[in-house]
Amino acid sequence: MTPKTPRQMTLVAFLQAQNCSNYVGSWRHPSSMNDYLSPEYYQRIARTLEDGKFDMAFFDDRLAMPDIYGASHRETVAHGVRAIKLEPTSVLMAMAMVTSRLGLGATYSTTYYEPFHVARLFATLDLMTKGRVAWNVVTSMNDSEAANFGHSEHLEHDLRYDRADEFMEVVMGHWDTWAEGAIVADKEADHFADPDMVRRLDHAGRFFQSRGPLTVPRSAQGHPVVLQAGQSGRGLAFAARWAEVVFAKYPTLDNGKKQYKALKDGVESAGRDPGSVKICPELKIIVADTQAQAEEQRDLVASLSRPIDGLTMIGETLNIDFSGRPYEQPFTDEELAAVSWQSLRDKVVQVSGKRNPSVKDFVEASGRGTLNDGPVFCGTGKQVADQMEEWFNTACDGFVLSATSVPGTYEDIVRLVVPELQKRGLFRKEYGDATLRGTLGLTVPRAGDWRAAR
């Protein structure tokens, strides 16, 4: 009898195509590299991740420079609070050029782009990487992004997700317009492809009209992997319907166990196989050869944050200018109802214990801009692996790993943590299938499969 293969952990690197990681203070770290405007910077990270057999790296993105705090971009630029944001799919391809197995994902918004464009772009990326691409689906979050695309304000929360649901139907429909095996390429018979296997979409809905057919055939993995990070009730319903990898936020292990079960139950209720969806919470790892060295590094990293980081990022996230508001003045019920990122609002209410929290409560309870914005595993490779194994066995399918210095964080993880996970049989020693789906252990969908599953 063949022994059962142990369940394997999914490892995803959480990247930013900008001057810092999602931890703003990372650009101030003495070991962080400064060539973030060059392909070599991202290619260096890509090689490290592929050496460590990571499943995937993906780029978060926002469509505006943070400029809500004080209605100005001056503080953002002065303090480097995510002031630079390169177009992520272009950076993705620079990384693809120096790798052959690492999965690569990029964020694209369903609020400010058109479905045909996104379907064509990501289908092309998937072909050019031989089936290694993922699309991180977001609905965007603030008025600054709206202003860059000619709108006076950002769409209301649930309306964004209504639009996103239809956006996904159109994109998935376009990815289906070419059936597998449509291309014949018979030169002598002058028969390039079977017209009966290429169809128009002819979508007409509430938000979109799109004809098709798409001009890009299917890739080796069927279509790009769909990544999503919904945390609110509406966002979780969207993730349950569409996501193949869910980027989660767990403040604690106990909270994670509840979220994990709720997400898996939601996937099943949406008519999908819960085993076909990987749920991966964000995690920061600070690892060194000794516990004392790791704790020293943690103290250094924590010292890099500045008050302006949190104030700017919370304003960007919640679409609220905190600059002219008394620091301890509670928000009214009406103001809280207007907050765009509902899951963060609810977290602050829960952590602070106040129905009407203040700016001070938002800063302290959210941890935005500080090392405390999410769990941190700190210690030796063995100590970190112990914590990851506990979470993996009870609350997740893997992890989205953030960096506190770049590329040092990932180099430390690959050198000290990955070998420990491999030793325990929790993580691969070599890549298997060449596609991202193969690496993640997901099946290759055929045209139309998504409709049957929903």
Is 69 annotated as a binding-site member?
Answer: no
Q: What are the tokens at 59?
A: 């780029």
61 is in an annotated binding site: yes
Annotated ligand binding at 290? The verdict is: no
Any residues with CB less than 8 A from the CB of 46 and at least 6 apart, and which?
57, 95, 98, 99, 102, 104
The DSSP 8-state label assigned to residue 415 in this structure reads I
23 labelled binding-site residue: no
Measured CA to CA, the distance from residue 50 to residue 55 in angstroms comes to 8
**Known binder of ligand: residue 5?**
no
3-state secondary structure 330-383: CCCHHHHHCCCCHHHHHHHHHHHCCCCCCHHHHHHHHCCCCCCCCCEEEECHHH
φ/ψ of 335, rounded to 5, equals -65, -40
Q: At CA 235, angle to CA 232 and CA 241, rounded to 5? A: 140
Length of the chain: 454
Q: Amino acid identity, residue 29?
A: H
The count of other CB atoms within 10 Å of the CB of residue 449 is: 15
Question: Using H for helix, E for strand and C for coil, what is the string for 253-297?
Answer: HHHHHHHHHHHHHHHHHCCCCHHHCEEEEEEEEEECCCHHHHHHH
Cβ 135 vs Cβ 227: under 8 Å: yes
Known binding residues are 61, 107, 157, 161, 232
Q: Which residues are annotated as a binding site for FMN?
A: 61, 107, 157, 161, 232
